[in-house]
Structure 1
């Protein structure tokens, strides 16, 4: 009897620790008192890749040039190891190898992207490439034959070069080109694909591609072209969503979902200044999420006010932030069934009265300075620090700001040199899974988690110098062998048990 009393007292102590720490770094406390933590039965687990990063076959079977083909060929000096993805992991020829390891993991779904220039070499329906459609038919069919749900991203950085030649994301006609492309995908694959993501990380291709000129198409127009890119992305997304709901949702059994994937950090204030935290979040997540997921619609007020005031101070006749008409606000508001979220890291921020960036620029408009905590563990990537409590905070922010919309974590991962014994990656994934469980405990509507990435691949301007894969790929071998890392076994156990063990 005495033993039973002691057990009850210890259990009550555990519950007290969990409740009292929910507002802070609760994932560590809960982990210390539980052997494992269970995810909801319907929670989904998967992995993610993108076409340009893994496929290879850059000029085969009628595929057209993407801006990343052109960029890496013409400017190898801008890639860390002067490499490209002409071959890479060669998934175009070796998808069966990928399928084998997806099955090995026990994944519920596989998130991959379709290469727009592979199915429409010029970006236009007049250039329809049946060989490209067949490749993705085979991918989707093989996944379904093995009870793996395909999650399809329509655009993941690799814009057809021909569309960039006529202005790319800054051309208003881009909206119609994308809608036309989306309709082709709905028509051809919609009977089998339930989860659609229109765009992956607009902030991360608009700002470096049209603002800083570090990504293709190398346009240096910070504060102008990058804002136009974001505006056209949001509108094109809404058009593609409305098209699906109007013509294909009922046709395909009312089970399909269309969303957009947004990348975001969470921001902390060392002085607990909620206003600066909100400012930072609106200038990052809110820029894209507020028009789609908020009740009010349109851009966040802080963006409208700051960019408008700065534009007038620069002697301009109108704001550099495009104006949304009421018709566009209404079309965009509510144009998603879920929010795809890519989370990697967080920062501390503070308000800057007199920013030092170029005029105009996002830096001068946002007026925030970001720093890291030296105690945070850094990955191989210089920008990536492990801050799991930031994910809990971010999910809570989304819950409060956007009526607890369904969130699917579409990317989360840790970079290193590609070693097979990748304990740091395991710890990162485990900590972030616990952070998600904390958010679920607090009522956040999180339904899926996706590791970036299934395999080592071409990491954009970092080439192959940084590796994110659960599986190592021998890039120097003609067979491109996929070799399981220690993290693959860990993730397999997570999926199988639907829980996070307290042990590595």
Structure 2
């Protein structure tokens, strides 16, 4: 499948992305402590086929091979994450692990030597286990100072070379799946009724505090940028002429995206419609949505240099049936539907809907102050063993066409695109049964042999021509 002739702006960033737990392996090497995902996957019943990330792609040992694969793709940037327990194994003492720092120094230096700019995520879901067990994880505001200390250690160690930082990856996912559904680490379900609002409050405040820390202590000398990556599907009203369907789609967007984006990109506070809804549902009792102080609003507002967007799919929204239920599901009260004509990936939730990405990008432009946007994840899953991945090529081409339309016709300031993902890897609760990689990985091979799928050549055409 040949790339076309829709040129992107000069200087457009072409990248691919991974996460430490999903590729590194070496779970107990180099001074690293256990993360919540180590504990979660090493407990029976949590992951399909009992798989773990103990070895994964073994990128801890094979990172030079991975950099060579990036060269083959022709990307000019690589979005990677740091393993918090590899850098600060015991956050209660706060001591930085020299072996962990040395490993990431080697990765960063190898990238730069090959003309690839690192984009580094501080938190991609794998904090030290002790912070969940002893502090309470993101349900407790006590975790915030530990995250600040970790961020400061990373800025100090790597900020002379890393100029693009992402604080959190997809808080809506790790909070909802980890603290409401129990489907992801740490496997908690205790916030299903009261809602994950305390977690949200702690994460957005932690993000803003890290942003201000960098702004105060590092920006003048390192001159980098700090943002975060928010995941959202696009919610389209099932019936645009039905007011209840329109309201359901708006609730979807506010509970999934606005609750994080509005405080950071608009006015330092939660979306007005979300605040009104939760106040009304409190019925004079305790409002489960925490309140920001005026000081917090001040440091929250404008606390991001760019908007990182992870987009995969779209849903049709209709009003739910849980309006009277005193639960988080009742707060949201929407139902999600798909179209049987949409192409589905190996993941049960993933349908190819490129027009949803264009609509979402324009929604961000209109509602969040026309920020600089990077698509920090976008990709398609196929079954294990697939090398002739035509469905992935079609997905990428169609979604990049939507990005191009957003840039050239809707005037959205999109500066880059990171394809998820470089390698087949450990896909969280689904283990190794869903493959998002541009490169196939043989997880039965001792050296985790990498093989290019057909999409590698296709993506190289895009990166080399700066067009789709």
**TM-score range for the pair, normalised by the shorter chain length:** over 0.9
Find out whether 1:108 has 2:79 as its counterpart: no
Tell me by how many angstroms 1:499 deviates: 1.0
Matching residue within 149, 160, 173 for 1:204: 173
Residue matched to 1:240: 210
Find out whether 1:349 has 2:321 as its counterpart: no
Find out whether 1:249 has 2:216 as its counterpart: no
Find out whether 1:463 has 2:435 as its counterpart: no
Instruction: Render the CA deviation track for 1:277-300: whole Å, top value 9, x for unaligned.
Output: 333211211010000001x33001
Residue matched to 1:290: 262
Instruction: Render the CA deviation track for 1:213-251: whole Å, top value 9, x for unaligned.
Output: 222222211253622111100000000000001110001
Give the Cα–Cα distance (whole angstroms) in 1 for the partners of residues 93 and 399 of structure 2.
42
Give the Cα–Cα distance (whole angstroms) in 1 for the partners of residues 432 and 275 of structure 2.
40
Cα RMSD for the two superposed structures? 1.5
Residue matched to 2:390: 423
Residue matched to 1:475: 443
Tell me by how many angstroms 1:124 deviates: 4.2
Give the Cα–Cα distance (whole angstroms) in 2 for the partners of residues 312 and 95 of structure 1.
55
Matching residue within 363, 384, 406 for 1:397: 363
Give the Cα–Cα distance (whole angstroms) in 1 for the partners of residues 247 and 186 of structure 2.
35
TM-score normalised by length of structure 1: 0.89
Find out whether 1:385 has 2:351 as its counterpart: yes
Tell me by how many angstroms 1:320 deviates: 1.0
Find out whether 1:303 has 2:274 as its counterpart: yes
Give the Cα–Cα distance (whole angstroms) in 1 for the partners of residues 93 and 115 of structure 2.
31
Find out whether 1:77 has 2:49 as its counterpart: no
Residue 100 and residue 35 in structure 1: after superposition, are their counterparts in 2 closer, same or farther (change >3 A)? Answer: closer
Q: Tell me, which stretches of 5 or more residues in structure 1 are unaligned?
A: 1-33
Give the Cα–Cα distance (whole angstroms) in 2 for the partners of residues 167 and 270 of structure 1.
39
Find out whether 1:42 has 2:8 as its counterpart: no
Give the Cα–Cα distance (whole angstroms) in 2 for the partners of residues 375 and 225 of structure 1.
34
Residue matched to 2:335: 369
Residue matched to 1:27: none
Q: State the secondary structure of the residue aligned to 2:120.
A: strand
Tell me by how many angstroms 1:357 deviates: 9.0
CA contact (8 A) 2:323 2:331 kept: no
Give the Cα–Cα distance (whole angstroms) in 2 for the partners of residues 64 and 123 of structure 1.
10
Flag the structure with larger Rg. Answer: 1
Instruction: Render the CA deviation track for 1:374-422: whole Å, top value 9, x for unaligned.
Output: 1111101000000000000000000000111011001000001130000
Find out whether 1:51 has 2:20 as its counterpart: yes
CA contact (8 A) 2:323 2:333 kept: no
Q: Which range is displaced more, 271-280 or 442-451?
A: 271-280
